[in-house]
Amino acid sequence: MSRINDVGGMVGFPAVLEEPDEPPFHADWEAHVLALNAALIRRGVYNLDEFRDAIERMPPADYLAASYYERWFAAITTLLAAKGVATAAELAGQEGLPTAADPVAPSDLADD
């Protein structure tokens, strides 16, 4: 039984079209998601298998509606909540996290 995220796609979906000279990122936020994921894996917050599983557990409709890095971001936020690193409210921007009005000092990002 194939799933929506199986490599190679599913019957009934069109072939993947390659963009000639496609840039590595279509927007700056995509590069940030890539860097965030690498940092969280390096710090041991989660591992690559957990990350992939979080993407694969996305509901099919959400998976199909999301871009590549939107899927990554969904997996990251899912894992941060599951691991107790951040609450759902924090991840939704409702409490506790800095906003553009609350700049983060470089010292706040230093390793512990």
* Residue 7 pLDDT exceeds 70: no
Tell if the pTM clears 0.85, that is, is over it.
Answer: no
Look at residues 28, 97, 102, 25 and name the one whose alpha carbon lies nearest to residue 68.
25
**Per residue, what are the HEC states of 61-106?**
HHHHHCCHHHHHHHHHHHHHHHCCCCCHHHHCCCCCCCCCCCCCCH
State the residue for tokens 């107790």: 84
| Between residues 104 and 72, the one the model is more confident about | 72
CA distances from 110 to 5, 46, 99, 107 (A): 36, 19, 18, 5
Q: Quick: pLDDT tens for 25-84.
A: 999 999 999 999 999 999 999 999 999 999 999 998 999 899 999 999 999 999 999 999
| Between residues 53 and 17, the one the model is more confident about | 53
